Amino acid sequence: MELALLYSGGKDSTLAALTLDSFYDVHLVTAHFGFTDDWTHAKTAAETLGYPFETVELDENVAADAVDRMHADGYPRNGIQQVHEAALEAVAGLGYDAIADGTRRDDRVPTISRAQAQSLEDRYDVDYLAPLSGFGRRAVDRLVEETLDIEVGPSDTVPKADYEGELRQLLIETYGTDSVGEVFPEHEQTYVHGLLD
């Protein structure tokens, strides 16, 4: 069976790919808005890991709405959640047997409820899998440490292909340079260079 995994080049979605690998033909799909070429980092990671890769372009209005929401909230959570849901809808429309993401049990965002999962499955006739949703933070960290060659650093310096880079840029364009620091707290990001031997 063919599966499309929403992929950022980070540790969670990479680990999700490995857990699904025994059961599905895994394709890595990076959603982007076309504002930056951040998605090429995910492509590089996908090529290193040996998975087929494609992108799906989301509507610019999704980014604009998310940025407005984040600016109004003063934190990114709800805006990120909106973008993640739009990305899952886009991937669900690609025609695969199953779709998946790297959501973990202890993530505050994004979260996909059971009702949302079932709605997605019914509307697109696709299975939605969250293979890490039964894994806590420490379990994921231990598996990453044993399995992946990663780079960790502040989220504005580590190469990444999730929506955050594009949303940061749109936030600056719309609300000015200071708005990024107001919305996004400093946090660590990871980028996957490949598998450990």
Which of 56, 41, 53, 50 lies closest to 18 in space, CA to CA?
50
Pick between residue 1 and residue 177 the one whose CB is nearest to a copy of itself.
Answer: 1
Indicate which single residue of 56, 94, 143, 158 sits in contact with a copy of itself (rule: CB under 8 A).
143
Q: Calculate the alpha carbon distances from 68 to 101, 128, 138, 168, 186 in Å.
A: 25, 29, 34, 12, 20
DSSP 99: E
Cβ atoms of 29 and 3 within 8 Å: the answer is: no
Tell me how far, at minimum, the Cβ of 53 lies from a copy of itself, in Å: 21
What would the x/- binding string for a copy of itself be over residues 70 to 99, using CB under 8 A? ---------------------------xx-
131 binds a copy of itself (CB under 8 A): yes
55 binds a copy of itself (CB under 8 A): no
* Site size toward a copy of itself, by CB under 8 A: 31
29 binds a copy of itself (CB under 8 A): no
Give φ, ψ of 76 to 5 degrees: -90, -10
Alpha-carbon span 182 to 164, nearest angstrom: 14
Binding site for a copy of itself (CB under 8 A): 1, 18-19, 21-23, 97-98, 103, 105-106, 114, 117-118, 121, 127-136, 138-139, 142-143, 146-147
